[in-house]
Amino acid sequence: MNTIKINQDQFKELLKNPNDKSFVMLNLLKFKKEGGKKSYARYLKEANRFIDEVGGKLLIFSRPKELLTGTETWDLLMLVKYPSRKAFLAMANNPDYLKIHSFREEALENAVLYATDEIALRDLMQECPE
């Protein structure tokens, strides 16, 4: 099962989102058994400069271990902070970046990309009824 296709409805929401503040992209990745890790390493080697060029920063790069809830397992978890959605989209649409994106596609059996906005705990608590 390959679910690395773009969710077009959510991508349109990302395009329309007026938030110009920084955000964190959650990446959950499962490699193809044959050559997936190698292909993803090649992608990362090339992709890092594009992240840097738009002011992005890799926050966490880790291997998920014990799955305490759910059923889907992952080979890699990354959190990447971008200065804005506009910066992320500039990277994602860069013709030179698109040339190396095939390495990512070759590498992955499954992937989740989730654009997240930071919230303060106090704001979350105010949203919760007593």
CATH topology of domain 8-127: Alpha-Beta Plaits (3.30.70)
Domain positions in the chain are: 8-127
Q: Measured over all CA atoms, what is the biggest interatomic distance in the chain, rounded to whole angstroms?
A: 52
Q: What is the pLDDT along the chain (130 residues), one digit of tens a residue?
A: 455 677 888 888 888 988 899 999 999 999 999 999 999 999 999 999 999 999 999 999 999 999 999 999 999 999 999 999 999 999 999 999 999 999 999 999 999 999 999 887 777 777 776 6
Length of the chain: 130
> What angle is formed at CA 106 by the lines to CA 9 and CA 79, rounded to 5 degrees?
60
Q: Does the pTM of the predicted model rise above 0.95?
A: no
